[in-house]
Amino acid sequence: MEDLAKTALLFDFYGELLSDHQRQIFEAYTMEDLSLAEISSQYGISRQAVSTMVRRCRKALSDYEDKMHLVAKFENIKSVVSEINVLAGVIEAPEAAKIEKLAGEILGDL
Amino acid sequence: MEDLAKTALLFDFYGELLSDHQRQIFEAYTMEDLSLAEISSQYGISRQAVSTMVRRCRKALSDYEDKMHLVAKFENIKSVVSEINVLAGVIEAPEAAKIEKLAGEILGDL
């Protein structure tokens, strides 16, 4: 998986386990693409401190995944539901349209 | 949801966020149904300490769910996939049998 997409997923699942302060700074750097200098001046901490915090958050998120495997679990569900969606697409029955709709709901939520 | 089933789900999702010691004692009490006295003698800590630890673990697991909502998310997926399964069951097409199989895989994993 592409690095930013993976970070976004990890953050989506485990971001709530970071402190508010960590989450804000990590989000500013990785998701909102602010520079170390911008975040440093915005939060009144050194660039070095921002950089260290971002690195630690990245490690923490990745450690949570190593323990809990939730991103992997959801990715697996997503891929199986996509398969269901494709299969339903070739069936000519009103129930198949309903299946597609339900599969789409799951994929939209994930 | 029935209390024990809910505890089991919470433990399944967030148990890895407890310490090894907490996890062992919580599991012994709630999943293996050992008594406070049995756990107390097995781990060499007082019944009161076991009881307090179990209560704190229960609270911690429930706090994780309040933050992360993963059990709720999975329960929702489970219910939608069950619906897909039922719909596929009434369709007469080879693809529908495949859909049932895939839905069953997801339900078995959850």
Whether the pLDDT of residue B105 is over 80: the answer is yes
Residues A40, A50: contact at Cβ < 8 Å?
A: yes
Mutate to test the interface with B, among A82, A99, A105, A109 (most CBs of B within 10 A): A99
For chain B, the DSSP string reads --HHHHHHHHHHHHGGGS-HHHHHHHHHHHTS---HHHHHHHHTS-HHHHHHHHHHHHHHHHHHHHHH-HHHHHHHHHHHHHHHHHHHHT--SHHHHHHHHHHHHHHHH-
Q: Which chain B residue's Cα is nearest to A89?
A: B95
Per-residue pLDDT of B46-82, as tens digits, reads: 999 999 999 999 999 999 999 999 999 989 999 999 9
Q: Give the residue ranges of chain A where pLDDT is below 70.
A: 1-2
pTM, two decimals, is: 0.83
Q: Is A14 exposed, middle or buried (0-12, 13-18, 19+ CB in 10 A)?
A: buried
Contact at CB, B102 and A95, closer than 8 angstroms? no
Q: Which pLDDT score is estimated for B29?
A: 95
Does the complex come out with an ipTM higher than 0.95?
Answer: no
Long-range contacts of B50-53 (CB under 8 A, 24+ apart): B50/B25, B53/B22, B53/B25, B53/B26
Per-residue pLDDT of B2-29, as tens digits, reads: 688 889 999 999 999 999 999 999 999 9
- Chain B residue numbers touching A67 (CB-CB < 8 A): 16-17
Which domains are assigned to chain A? 3-68 (1.10.10.10), 73-109 (no CATH)
Q: Which pLDDT score is estimated for B2?
A: 62
Any A CB within 8 A of B5 CB = no
Q: Which pLDDT score is estimated for B3?
A: 85
Contact at CB, A68 and B13, closer than 8 angstroms? yes
- Chain B residue numbers touching A68 (CB-CB < 8 A): 13-14, 16-17
Q: Which pLDDT score is estimated for A110?
A: 75
Q: Out of A81, A90, A102, whose CB is closest to B95? A: A90
Tokens of A32: 């909102």
